[in-house]
Amino acid sequence: MTGNNSFQAPAPKPRLYYGYIVVAASFIIMVLAQGLYIVFGIFFNPLLEEFDWSRAVISGAYSLSSIIQGVLGIAMGGLVDRFGARSVVAVCGVFMGAGYLLMSQVNTVWQLYLFYGVIVGIGMSGLWVPLLSPISRWFVDRRSMMTGIVMSGMTIGGVVAPLVVSRLIVACDWRQTFLIIGGVSLFVIVVFAQFLRRDRGRLAPSSRGTAKDAPTKSSPAVTGYDLKEAAQTFQFWLCLAILFCFGYAILAIAVHLVPHIAGLGISEVSAAGVLAVNGGVGIIGNIFVGGVIGDRIGNRKVLLIGFALAIASLVWLLPSRDLWQFHLFAVVLGIAAGSIGTSESPLVARLFGLKNHGLFYGIFVLGFTVGGAAGPFMTGYVYDLTGSYHNAFLTCIAFMVTGFILSVFLRPTPKVGTEL
């Protein structure tokens, strides 16, 4: 041995990028939390039969929960920016589980509004923005794709939860069903929240899983708007209005679709199956349209595609009377909703940067939830007045058309300047 040849140890295999673990944990929590939240309409008729409350009164509890989760979602987004998602999601998981457990004991309207409207609403406030906002920090060039994977948890939950919950109500009754879903959600959310580690400033992986896109002074990873600056841009108010329109229509349909179909003489289990189809095909909108296509053509164009599909599906819904027609409606609307929903968080990053992403996304989700509060309540109120969902569904179409028109006018912000 002359010493001229130096030994080179083999390069260590790269460890799994922790961002993927964050995606997996967020996905599981999303499946459970959003899947259980969307099935409120399945409890509609059992509550009507037992208490003889009006549809507007029952819808009002869902509307109150939407308002509370929207308002508190702003604070939750700010807390995530400052402290990370782990503790925020865990605490909100406790509230959500407790709210469902208490719903098993409801006997009066004020209990319905406290247990579901307030306590479940508090829980849900930390189970949307805190799950999606960190994805924009962990990933750069695969941001829409990873957001779509987490969002697909909602659509998978939308497939599984209606089928499971509707059968649990038949087998156990609605009170026992609330006990079961309360215990399961409390355990699962708190456990998987522990994997939501805060990003310690590591670089996001490229499409091949290697670090790239180091932050620069002009990068949206280190630049971004403050709230006062953002509020002076027309894009800020456009985003609020767009998500309000989307929330009004999509949550009005989510709450009232099962009662509408059942009112036409179709069994509630079959009607719940339509809701499940709507959730299942949303995976296509989440991962393929909002994720893969969104990374290629931009999030604004995906918004336009989503709103166009939603308008077409609601026009089809109006004269539908047969089960196959409702399934076709559910397929188209599911793709539309998945596409729009996946585009929200990446679009906020492209418009306003990552400096206060959680805060801004929380504000825009408030626009969605305020619309989501108004939609179910007004739809139930119109039905109580007219005995029909026809005019209420026409209103949903009008809001979707408005959302499409407003999306046409979205442009990049001067400070960030990223293509939309």
DSSP string, 79-118: HHHHH-SHHHHHHHHHHHHHHHHHHTT--SHHHHIIIIII
Q: What is the DSSP letter of 196?
A: -
Cα gap 20→26, rounded to integer Å: 10
Contact assessment for residue 121 and residue 64, using Cβ atoms and an 8 Å cutoff? yes
Name, in order, each residue with C-beta under 8 angstroms of 33's C-beta and a sequence gap of 6 or more.
Answer: 93, 96, 123, 124, 127, 157, 185, 189
pTM over 0.75: no
Joined tokens for residue 46:
């059992």
Instruction: State the maximum Cα–Cα separation within the chain, in Å, rounded to a whole number.
Output: 96
Residue type, 114: L
pLDDT tens track for 261-278 = 988 989 887 887 887 787
- CA-CA-CA-CA torsion sign (235, 305, 258, 31): negative
Contact assessment for residue 379 and residue 252, using Cβ atoms and an 8 Å cutoff? yes
CATH number where 368 lies: 1.20.1250.20
Which segments of 263-356 does DSSP mark as H helices, in order? 268-283, 294-297, 299-317, 323-352
Is 343 within a domain?
A: yes
Q: What is the reported pLDDT for 389? A: 93
Residue type, 54: S
Q: What is the reported pLDDT for 104? A: 93
Q: Which regions in the chain score pLDDT beneath 50?
A: 1-3, 6-7, 11, 201-221
Q: What is the reported pLDDT for 124? A: 93
Range of the domain at 252: 18-197+222-408
Which of 247, 231, 307, 257 lies closest to 67 in space, CA to CA?
A: 247
Is 214 within a domain?
A: no
Contact assessment for residue 351 and residue 412, using Cβ atoms and an 8 Å cutoff? yes
Q: What is the reported pLDDT for 1? A: 46
Mean pLDDT of the chain: 85
What CA–CA distances, in Å, run from 52 to 57, 63, 110, 114, 149?
A: 10, 19, 15, 19, 41
Is 215 within a domain?
A: no
pLDDT tens track for 282-309 = 788 888 888 888 888 888 899 999 999 9
Is 101 within a domain?
A: yes
Is 371 within a domain?
A: yes
Cα gap 322→327, rounded to integer Å: 9
Is 345 within a domain?
A: yes
Provide the number of structural domains found in the chain.
Answer: 1
Contact assessment for residue 89 and residue 29, using Cβ atoms and an 8 Å cutoff? yes
Which of 292, 313, 312 lies closest to 302 in space, CA to CA?
A: 292
Is 210 within a domain?
A: no
Name, in order, each residue with C-beta under 8 angstroms of 296's C-beta and a sequence gap of 6 or more.
Answer: none
Is 142 within a domain?
A: yes
